[in-house]
Amino acid sequence: MAVIDVEKVISELKTGEKVDLTAGTDFWHTAAIPRLGVPALRTSDGPNGVRGTRFFNGVPAACFPCATGLGATWDTELLHKVGKLLGEECKAKGAHVLLGPTINIQRSPLGGRGFESYSEDGVLSGTLAGQYCLGVMEEDIVPTPKHFVCNDQEHERMGVNSIVTQRALREIYLKPFQIALKMSNAGAIMTAYNKVNGTHVSENKWIIDDILRKEWKWNGLLMSDWFGVYSTSDAINAGLDLEMPGPTRWRGGALQHAAANHKVAPHVLDERVRNVLNLVNLTSKSGIPENAEEKELNRPQDQALLRRAAAESIVLMKNENNVLPFDKNKSIAVIGPNAKITTYCGGGSAAVRPYYLVSPFEGVSSKVTAEVAFAQGVYGHKELPTLGPLLKTPDGKPGYIFRAYNDPPSVEGRKVADELHLDNSGTLLMDYSHPNIKSQTFYVDMEGTFTPDESGTYDFSVTVVGTGKLFIDGELVVDNSKNQKRGTAFFSMGTVEVFGSKDLNAGQTYKVFFQFGSGPTGDAANGSHELFGPGAFRFSGCKRRDEEESIAQAVELASKHDQVVIFAGLNNDWESEGYDRENMDLPPGSDELISRVIAANPKTAVVIQSGTPVTMPWANDAQALLQAWYGGNEAGNGIADVLFGDVNPSGKLPLSFPIRLQDNPSYLNFRSERGRALYGEDVYVGYRYYDKTQTPVLFPFGHGLSYTTFSRSGLQIASDGDKLTVSVTVKNTGDRAGSEVVQLYVTPAPTNSINRPPRELKGFQKVHLGPGQSAEVKIEVDKKEATSFWDEIRGAWISEKGVYGVLVQGTTAGGKAEDENLKGNFEVAETTYWNGL
């Protein structure tokens, strides 16, 4: 794409063309003005993979660990490489703008999209996001930090009023954006759905214009979240450049009318257009043409980076008696609900269709030269697992045949309008279309065969936006076509899950036939399905298990093996955009399974996959415990690399793990109550609260063990002008190579005029050391920023004079309370006020 003369184009644009440029034309693209050489731009989700333009049957993509997993690496160099590969994936998918990173703050473990964000701490989140953005920008792709700001829950997310003090807004929720923009000057930002202190962010002039534009001097493009615009003139005048997606709901004719009647001044409309055109020029360097073909990369070097990211994200929480690493030459018992499934990503817009997936069982099996035994124990699903991957087409391929018709099944001799081979039986038809499909009302027959491994009663289910009937060998097993009730599936537009069951015999092949009618044929969505296309479907099933019997089998297996690993946790049904978790617990039965297996074999290693904290009532009994998050394409290999010591774990928790939900500072104020959410914990989010109240946690922020040991010594503090440099010597005192994360916290001066958290993270650095190797680690921070809080009376940051403390922390020898901390202090000679980035 050629660079355009922005001012010349603006002078030649007609008012209607200017209006067109301020809104998308479809779900992913901006408007083009061919006569003036203005091309359309393509956006694509993020943040941990590049979907392309299709939710339905899209082109496969690289999927990195979820953001909390990437946050757990504390590795700026790795995040830069992640961003660069995502930029290359954008080029493969023809996308000029990547809709990520997500850098909201996890107020509560219950946040449905908590897995999408890096940390409860703004410095860690903002620093990693800044490197991510720089990596994306290295490929001339524009990253889009989101959701600006306080989009920290899913409950009533489009209407909830986030009531937050100015101090908390600045010190906690705006902080990651402030840092990421200072580092990268990212070319686009996405506004949040919610209100902040009474006004939707997309029309909040104080947040958009006063803070972002004027105070921070940022001049990029500001776009809405999808369907996150609620006005015409207010949003334009506040500074929202681009309404997404298209076709427009608030601009178009309404904006032309507002401009004609001076509700929107000509120079204001020009400014919105100018930012769109500047984005066009910014993306022109990428060389991506309009409407580019979507392709796959999936190169060996990409797979290696995905595997590295998966392994480095893993946090070794406990390792008593050196249970880990395991021995590859000994047999192992693999147990648990997450062992043979691939929990690679959370749910919602972050989900992508992966190039491939590696389950934990497959990862372990690839390492071990002896027997690998398996017991299911319990299931961990919230909804029954999809049937698609278990089916086969008539010619023996994995998956099933999808045949679309314009006419209902009652019409004899109807013609096939479209035929596809699919493997995912849970999908949103948002972007499905075909020239032969005549309207939004159409019908689909899906057909495959299923051959069960075990005899028994199998449960089946159907969830739809539309109508659906599931037949097994011609018998109607599930009917979800009438008396429908709305649930949380498919962005809360789908029905609740409707169930049926049938006895099946092992080794016998059964015909699975799913009859689907698109959105308008159903009654649960009440027309709202039109927001996301013609409908959605999910047909699922699995063998029914007697929980007690199944746990007993797992216990017996564990008792007969020296090496035992349990894989448990959540998945993208439990943690997803669109709804929050109801509690912090593992799925029913998981705690019972883990407790009883540990009792049978205390050397059992427990691996938990989740995007946010879970309760662990058995934690004191577990000798070995790993937090493995959602690990992307290479999740199973990354976990196995750590379990068997091919990778020495170096992850540190990017958020605190409370003992119970009631201990979390947001406990009384999470969720929308009559349209408002009170951020009553103020600045005391995460570890700031637990430190201040001395509330015990299960595992603290920054915690993470290693298979080797480290010492820290020789603390030196140099305070020179605006810079604070903290130096420390780190030594690997163990017998294997490993990585240490040096964490720099600043403690408040006793003379500070306001209550402050006992410590706050201000810098960090990861260093890799061989056995016996030492290195000097220097962390340099801005002294003013490291000592400031937000003065609500002055409307500025204030660095008060006084003596501040320095606290350097890192890997502990055994996860004990007596951390090997280094302490020192420095002085701020005089009080100063400041604003800006």
Active site (catalytic) residues: 225
Under 8 Å between Cβ of 243 and 229: yes
* Cβ-Cβ contacts under 8 Å for 411 (sequence gap 6 or more): none
Q: Rounded CA gap, 788 and 776, in Å?
A: 27
Q: Which CA distances in Å does 688 have to 145, 183, 669, 683?
A: 24, 25, 17, 8
Under 8 Å between Cβ of 468 and 516: yes
Q: Rounded CA gap, 304 and 489, in Å?
A: 34
Q: Which CA distances in Å does 604 have to 321, 467, 491?
A: 11, 45, 38
Q: By C-alpha distance, which of 462, 47, 6 is closest to 221?
A: 6
Beta-carbon neighbour count of residue 780 at 10 Å? 15
Residue that the structure tokens 């063998």 belong to: 543
Q: Rounded CA gap, 84 and 736, in Å?
A: 30
Q: Rounded CA gap, 107 and 153, in Å?
A: 8
DSSP of 595-644: HHHHHH-TT-EEEEE-SS----TTTTT-SEEEE-----TTHHHHHHHHHT
- Can you state the angle between helices 635-643 and 300-313, rounded to 10 degrees? 60
Q: Rounded CA gap, 303 and 298, in Å?
A: 7
Q: Rounded CA gap, 789 and 746, in Å?
A: 12
Under 8 Å between Cβ of 289 and 614: no
> What is the amino acid identity at position 461?
S
Give the pairing type, strands 332-335 and 563-569: parallel
Order of all β-strands in the sheet with 796-799: 789-791, 796-799, 832-834
